[in-house]
Structure 1
Amino acid sequence: MEIIKEWIWDRGWSLITVSKLLSFYIMAQFIGIRDSGRRVLRNIWEIKTGAIKKEVLLSSAILLVLSIFTGWPATLSQTSIQNGQVVMGYLGNVLFYLIDIFLIVILQHYYPVGNSKRPYRLIFFCTVFFVFSKAIYFYATDLHYFIILNFLFCLYIVEYLPTNFRNVVALLLIFVAPMAAFFGIDPIWGNSFSVFALDKHFSVVTVLISYLLGFFYIYVKENSWEHVKKLTVTLIHQLTRYRRYNRPGPVEGRDGRR
């Protein structure tokens, strides 16, 4: 049993990539069954491609730099670095997210849902992605919150920059895949084949702040400052109301007075 488990783990990304591609093709054809030409992939790619937004490139680069500097990477001298495994890990991490994102784009194209349901879509798809990944890839070494944030960022780009699918590809190539293949944030192999490993004190708070900065930067660039100010005022107003209604009342004394 251990031999089989080790064989599956060693070829993890190859097996995942093949299985995801086969599943994706079948589901994409099923979703686009109403398409007369049945050329689902070509139609979506022609509609959803264009020039990559510079804010996505900048956000991806900033996330990579912040993660490296806050994670204090150290060289793994005892790790047997295999170029083939590093390349497979890089490509595997790109396709791991990209295939599911592309499937969601196809689903949204043929069965669109209004923008008012956007937050629910983000929560639903992220939850499904994480639960199924944990259930299917039970042999994974580091399948944790990091994949949720990566997938959420990809979905965020798809939702707010819906006319260009290449923005997601840029994020995966510049930030997600290098962090996995070179710095040990690999959901399947961990740092077993990476060149570096981030410090164990690489906190969740640091990661969340980095991602929030990326989210906010893209949101600001895609919306006017007036829209951002209006959203900020609304959030402050809601927080003020929440604090007002949840403020504890005065405590009564022994004589019944307040």
Structure 2
Amino acid sequence: MKIDILTLFPEMFSGVLGSSILKKAAEKKAVSYNVVNFREFSDDKHKTVDDYPYGGGAGMVLKPQPIFDAVDYLKNERNANPRVILLCPQGEKYTQKKAEEFAKEDHLIFICGHYEGYDERIREHLVSDEISIGDYVLTGGELGAMVMIDSVVRLLPGVLGNDESPIYDSFSSGLLEHPHYTRPADFRGMKVPEVLLSGNHQKIKEWRENESLYRTKSRRPDLMEKYLLEKNNNIDPLN
């Protein structure tokens, strides 16, 4: 997968992309990152990327020209038709299902905005997806892009040590994940459930499924309601 990131603050990505799973994924050639300062594409002699909004109002608005030209350049350079993702509060709320969808793509372009917002023509004529990572406002789109990139890259084949790991993550099945335990079996009198020490794989599987259902019902009843609705309508909640 190829990931291009358009931002006015490329230095924000160096630590994230150069650490942990994201770094290992690049070393394994599962993904390549390209961080682009779209200010370099401004045709203004002062390299400005924003201007006052028509009609008045507070704040500045990102101009279309630098962002359109940057995306055009990346498309031509890679000879590809990528998903172009705009990070914005008005976008579709990000979910694990969306991460799984993006993980199937060969090329993603993330546009990280700042200031008051984007010229509407960027939304209408350039991007394929508008995404929000939650119902709150950040200074810019960089942190949201980092969250999305991490969630997508870890799903790529060969990135995690065990390719089955993402299958059992919270939200992948529609439910929250079951509890985990490791050694020692008795820590300060707090003991690991006996079933996990039994070696009976069927009973362990059943215990994990029950714990997953209980945890989802008690912590996220909204997810439980959706899970049961899909199950009752003969929709496989695991897909």
TM-score category (smaller protein): under 0.3
Q: Which has the higher contact order (CA 8 A, sep 6+)?
A: 1
In proportion to residue count, which structure has more helix? 1
- What's the TM-score once normalised by structure 1's chain length? 0.21
Instruction: Identify the structure with the greater strand proportion.
Output: 2
